[in-house]
Amino acid sequence: MTDTRSPLRALRAALFAAVAVILAAMGHSSLSAHDIPPSALLIALGVTAAAGWFAAGRRRGTRAIGAGLLAVQGVLHLIFSDAGRPAAHHHGHQAETALGLADGAGMPAVHLVAAAGCALWLAHGEAAFFRLAGTAFAFAFTPLRLLLGVVRLPEPVRPVVRPVVRARHRGVVLAHTVVRRGPPTPAVPRATAP
């Protein structure tokens, strides 16, 4: 799970929001008779980034990504439709009738294509990103390892341990020693005392 304070989580959410809003805005404005005001784009970007930030807590499967993106595209369509104003380059109803898609199946199709494009980007792009991040993490300390291979660090100073020398007693006759060299003596009882 990605930490809530992680800048990587915020970056993933911002990239997701930018791609989703740009694709939806391009498709929506091309099929509708109105431009999308910058304030609506900022609102859509903020809402989508917040949704992406909450969803970026863990990696998701393709189906979950697709279902979430369909919901996001539906919300973006509502935001763009409510905030729209007549475009300066569109001439009234002429653009709608020329395309013939704005009121019919064109607008849902545009948002469905935007959702599919974002889902593919997220599913495959995230997997590629995590592979790349894993590889980068594996080689992150390579320069440090190379540096440590060339530059020898000083050995830690270890105290000198002197061997313990036991005092030898030279010239002392040990009176109570038993010498057991040679073959064993037979175990025959003595009949007489010496």
Q: pLDDT tens for residues 16-61? A: 888 888 888 888 888 877 788 888 889 889 988 888 888 877 777 7
Crossing angle of helices 7-31 and 38-55, in 10° steps, is: 140
- List the structure tokens of 151: 């530059």
Residue 18 to residues 14, 34, 37, 92, 179: CA-CA distances in angstroms? 6, 21, 16, 29, 97
- The answer to whether the pTM exceeds 0.75 is no
- Report the alpha-carbon distance of residue 1 to residue 42 in Å, rounded: 28
pLDDT tens string 63-94: 888 888 888 888 888 888 877 655 444 444 44
